[in-house]
Amino acid sequence: ISGAQPFSEFKRVIDSLLGEGDDDDELKPENLLKEPVRGDGKVEIIGYMGYNDPFSKRSWKTLDELFREFGEDNIRLEFRNFPLTFQDEDYKLAQTGECVLSLSNSQTFFKFSSLVMNGEDTFSSVAKVGLNEQEVRNCVSNKKFLPEVLDDLENGEDDGVQGTPTF
């Protein structure tokens, strides 16, 4: 699914996938353990998104609606960074998300991401999810997770992603 599509488009695809066989092996990406994941359903959505992208923000609301409709036991969302340089200079927001993940877990990462995607300040969002703001700032300034962001970008390019969001 490419672009900021409405709930109905996701629902159409997910409904058709839920009715098919149970071959989960095809749904698991090679580097699943490195990426934040929400849910554990057999329908997997890999979302290439950027925190400052207005279309990604709109799609974030659609993803929440999908989880309300289908539940965490039917959908698995894997978040991958695809920051556009004019929206995230030096990929700092993407690195912040990776630092939040490294200091916590996927559940905290998605809480943080929801706050940021809904317009909250980045570092006040860090505090709201219970992490130490200075520790996250240090992580970002050390560029510890820049290679992970660059890996997501490379994977996105390999997958044919040209803009955000792409699912």
Tell me the pLDDT tens digit for each residue of 47-78: 999 999 999 999 999 999 999 999 999 999 99
Nearest to 76 by CA among 129, 125, 17: 17
pTM over 0.75: yes
Q: Is the pLDDT of residue 110 over 50?
A: yes
d(CA 26, CA 17): 12
